[in-house]
């Protein structure tokens, strides 16, 4: 079980990855296949567009219950 601040409503993919132990590659494929989280487009300094996933705290709970940390 993971503990999060209840005041925090949104989590970046990096935060979710470190909280759940699920690597970014698996996290993104889980998000797509399970319809969890949503894509936010972050404008990089160089002007390139980077895809970033954002997750709500309920998405985070589902991920932490259904999926175990990566073992690779
Ligand atoms: Zn993984």
**What per-residue confidence (pLDDT) applies to 52?**
84
**Beta carbons of 52 and 30 less than 8 angstroms apart:** no
Q: According to the model, what pLDDT value does residue 48 have? A: 61
CA 42 to ligand 1 centroid distance, Å: 23
Give the predicted TM-score (pTM) of the model. Answer: 0.81
C-alpha 56 – ligand 1 centre gap (Å): 20
Question: What's the 68 CA to ligand 1 centre distance in angstroms?
Answer: 10
For residue 5, the model assigns a pLDDT of 74
- pLDDT averaged per 10 residues in sequence order, the chain, 72 residues: 79 94 94 91 63 91 92 92
C-alpha–C-alpha distance, residues 6 and 61, integer Å: 12
CA of 21 to the centre of ligand 1 (A): 8
The 10 Å Cβ neighbour count of residue 66 is 10
Give residue 47's pLDDT. Answer: 63
**What are the b/e assignments for 26-57, b being 16+ CB within 10 Å?**
ebbebbeeeebbeeeeeeeeeeeeeeebbbee
């Amino acid at each position: 079980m993971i503990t999060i601040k209840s005041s925090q409503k949104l989590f970046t993919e990096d935060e979710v990855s470190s909280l759940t132990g699920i690597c970014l590659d698996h996290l993104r494929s889980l998000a797509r296949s399970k319809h969890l989280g949503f894509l936010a487009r972050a404008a990089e300094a160089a002007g390139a567009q980077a895809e970033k996933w954002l997750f709500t705290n309920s998405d985070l709970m589902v991920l932490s219950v259904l999926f175990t940390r990566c073992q690779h």
